[in-house]
Amino acid sequence: PFIANPGQINQFFLGIINLSSVVNLGHLTISVLPQIILVVLTALAQYFQTKMLMPNKTATYPNKKSHSDISEMMSKQMLYFGPLLTLFIGIKFPAGLSLYWLVSTVFAIIQQSSLLKKDKKLFKKDKQPG
């Protein structure tokens, strides 16, 4: 065969979190604490990513102090609803899903911050006379 049978796949991440386990809210033990921490970190990362993507009101609408349109209300709701949904789903599903979401969200935050830095540099360059 091309690939040998590994026999058994290790389901532990860093020897701490069982990626196939689900938190039983009726029977909390110290062994599920790393998974709960992983779920909370995932929700926090999604909160920061959503916060990062929200437009700056003063930059977008400099003449208006409060601009309440539908998109602003939706993004504000998603700022809080998305991480809460992540908490709920992360507790109900195996820890592997939370780990996947955390890693992809962290990479998205890194990518978005680098793009925002480049965008600021281009904006400053365009504003300079010459």
pLDDT digits (tens, 9 = 90+) for 11-35: 888 878 878 888 877 877 787 888 8
Q: What is the pLDDT of residue 125?
A: 66
Residue 12 has what DSSP assignment?
E
pTM of the model: 0.74
d(CA 126, CA 114): 19
What are the sequence ranges of the domains in the chain? 12-127
Residue with tokens 């990513």: 49
Instruction: Dump pLDDT digits (tens) for 71-104.
Output: 777 878 888 899 999 999 999 999 889 999 999 9
The predicted pLDDT at position 40 comes to 94
pLDDT by residue (tens digit) across 31-60? Answer: 788 888 999 999 999 999 988 887 766 555
